[in-house]
Amino acid sequence: MKWEENVRRVVPYTPGEQPQKAGIIKLNTNENPYGPAPGVARAIRDLDAESLRLYPAFPEETDLAKALAAYYHIGQDQIFIGVGSDDVLSMIFMTFFQSDKPIFFPDITYSFYDVWADVYRIPYETKALSADFLIRPEDYKQPNGGVVFPNPNAPTGEVMSLAMVEEIVKNNRDVVVVVDEAYIDFGGISALPLIEKYDNLLVVQTFSKSRCMAGMRIGYAMGQPRLIRYLNDVKYSVNSYTMNTAALALGVEAVRDEVYFKECCEKIMKTRERAEKELAGRGFVFPKSCANFIFASHKTVPAREIFEKLKQNDIYVRWWNKARIDNYLRITIGTDEQMEALYRALDKIV
Ligand SMILES: *Cc1c(COP(=O)(O)O)cnc(C)c1O
């Protein structure tokens, strides 16, 4: 077809499966196995359908922005709120990566980065992780159009020290550096304090993992007001009303209940500690994880085989048919009961 010459062609990102069948143990997309804070359910009941008549408020003026600003001790003008961190990151790519020079990110990382680069026609170069899957700050010193990396990294789960993150930010003062902290609440140290010192740093977080609200789609970026203003200019040039009224109201409750949030993260970390022992005892090896998943390889049984057999047992984990990582499984930390079911199933496989 002639019109196809004018199509913006792209190979889309493939998320983990969302099976609609009941009874699946879903350890494949790093969702939190626990429900959101109790106040969220209350806010759903209290939501006035009549309020949906109006367009939503501007996110930066809402109670959600106030709650996040208070929680992180920053100004409301230092927060950009979006439809999950995927939306936030996509806006960041569109806004800040306009250079002719390639942006840098690790070769093994969140597999959405190269998709956004492709869709926005941003040149990029990947930097190989070390043999033990670590990001090496010295690889991010050459001239570039921007830098983005998750900390902890996905899907390896390995965390970088604050000093290492700062080294990357410090060595790249002429471009924007984005730290994707989707998993930071499971034991890592956030780079947030560095935003006061560096006007080129954006820290991105999400409600999808540690705040148990993947289905509500809330994410945010934090940085100096100048960065946030540029982001808002682009966002308001694409779609003014990305955040719906319900999400804005429910998100507040998740931020306010700090006790529930901390308990939830601690439960996951405890279950992870136990999982390390259980998996190691069954012949798995894995890098030290600071996230709500473990990236594990078995000493003798191929990852693909384990992946398929677990699936036959209604246990879903994630496996990529990709160089360097095709003998690894990314296993999300579920409840203790879900993990027990995983160990029982593994006993029949490995
Ligand atoms: C899950 C995840 C995201 C996106 O999460 P949202 O649900 O869009 O907030 C971003 N980056 C990494 C590394 C992730 O694992």
Give the model confidence (pLDDT) of 75-102 as tens digits.
999 999 999 999 999 999 999 999 999 9
| Ligand 1 geometric centre to CA of 14 (Å) | 13
Q: Where in the chain is the domain with CATH 3.40.640.10?
A: 38-256
Mean pLDDT value of segment 136-154 = 98
Q: Which CATH architecture has domain 19-36+259-347?
A: Alpha-Beta Complex (3.90)
pLDDT at 271: 98
Amino acid sitting at position 305: E
Ligand 1 in contact with 154 (CB < 6 A)? yes
pLDDT at 50: 96
* CA distance linking residue 285 with residue 291, whole number of Å: 16
pLDDT at 309: 98
Mean pLDDT value of segment 112-129 = 98
The pLDDT-based confidence of 326 (bands split at 50, 70, 90) is very high
Q: Partners of 180 in the beta sheet?
A: 150, 204
pLDDT at 112: 97
The pLDDT-based confidence of 200 (bands split at 50, 70, 90) is very high
pLDDT at 90: 98
| Ligand 1 geometric centre to CA of 31 (Å) | 10
Ligand 1 in contact with 110 (CB < 6 A)? yes
pTM for this entry: 0.97
Contacts of 315 (CB under 8 A, 6+ apart): 24, 25, 27, 341, 342, 345
Ligand 1 in contact with 188 (CB < 6 A)? no
pLDDT at 270: 98
* CA distance linking residue 246 with residue 49, whole number of Å: 10
Give the pLDDT confidence of 12-52 residue by residue, as tens digits.
998 889 999 899 999 999 999 999 999 999 999 999 999 99
**DSSP β-ladder status, 329-332 and 293-298:** antiparallel
For ligand 1, mutation pick of 183, 206, 220 (most atoms within 8 Å of CB): 206
| Ligand 1 geometric centre to CA of 173 (Å) | 25
Pick the residue whose CA is nearest to atom 2 on ligand 1: 182
Q: Rounded to 5 degrees, what are φ and ψ at 337? A: -65, -45
Ligand 1 in contact with 31 (CB < 6 A)? no
Ligand 1 in contact with 332 (CB < 6 A)? no
| Ligand 1 geometric centre to CA of 312 (Å) | 27
pLDDT at 24: 95
The residue assigned the tokens 């996509």 is 90
Ligand 1 in contact with 86 (CB < 6 A)? yes
CATH number of 38-256: 3.40.640.10
Percent of the chain with pLDDT over 70: 100
Mean pLDDT value of segment 243-264 = 97
Q: Where in the chain is the domain with CATH 3.90.1150.10?
A: 19-36+259-347
DSSP 8-state code for residue 318: B
